[in-house]
Amino acid sequence: MVNQTTTQTRQTSRILEDAKIDVKLKIAALWAAVMFIFAYVDIFAYFRTGYLQDIMTGTVSGNQLNQVFLMGISVYVAIPSLMVFLSLVLKPQINRWANIILSLLFTAANLLSCIGETWAYYFFMTALESVLLLAVAWYAWTWPRTYR
């Protein structure tokens, strides 16, 4: 009897706990991961031949570096940055639709940014970003429901 109890205790103590994670936390974590990839894609660009020279002459990927361009990029990056927090605090109905719409828009924008691109890292990171953004849309679409 003692031997069986000891064996049972050893077997049950090996089971790892798997805590249920709220959908809001999953979505916020996905937005945070997207932001890390955004940052690294931009950082890696500085290692590309001619990129720094283009910046010094006032252009990035054929776009003029001016206040309008930098403001547009700032808004573009601010949205997913804010979604990390907003995914945790918005009411479920608004949260769900904001995450579905914004993640799909950002997926489309990411895929469009590949037009004319030739670097493999960029395609890889864009694909990874897109998978994460589609996961945001999926978690938001399949948001758990409460029935009353």
- 3-state secondary structure at position 36: helix
Q: Looking at the predicted structure, is the pLDDT value of residue 64 above 70? A: yes
16 pLDDT tier (thresholds 50, 70, 90): confident
Least confident range from 14-28, 71-85, 97-111: namely: 14-28
User: Across residues 6-15, what is the average pLDDT?
Assistant: 64
Provide the pairing of β-strand 59-60 with 63-64. antiparallel
Q: Say whether pTM exceeds 0.75.
A: yes
Q: Give the burial class of 146: count Cβ atoms within 10 A of its Cβ; 0-12 exposed, 13-18 middle, 19 or more buried.
A: exposed
Beta bridge partners of 56: none
Cα(133)–Cα(148) distance, rounded to whole angstroms?
31
Q: Looking at the predicted structure, is the pLDDT value of residue 2 above 60? A: no
Q: Which residue has the higher pLDDT, 7 or 87?
A: 87
Instruction: For residue 63, give the DSSP letter.
Output: E
User: Across residues 26-37, what is the average pLDDT?
Assistant: 98
Cα(44)–Cα(108) distance, rounded to whole angstroms?
22
Q: Give the helix/strand (H/E) hosting 67.
A: helix 67-89
Q: What pLDDT is attached to residue 60?
A: 87
Per 3-state DSSP, what percentage of the chain is helix, strand, and coil (rounded to 5)?
70, 5, 25
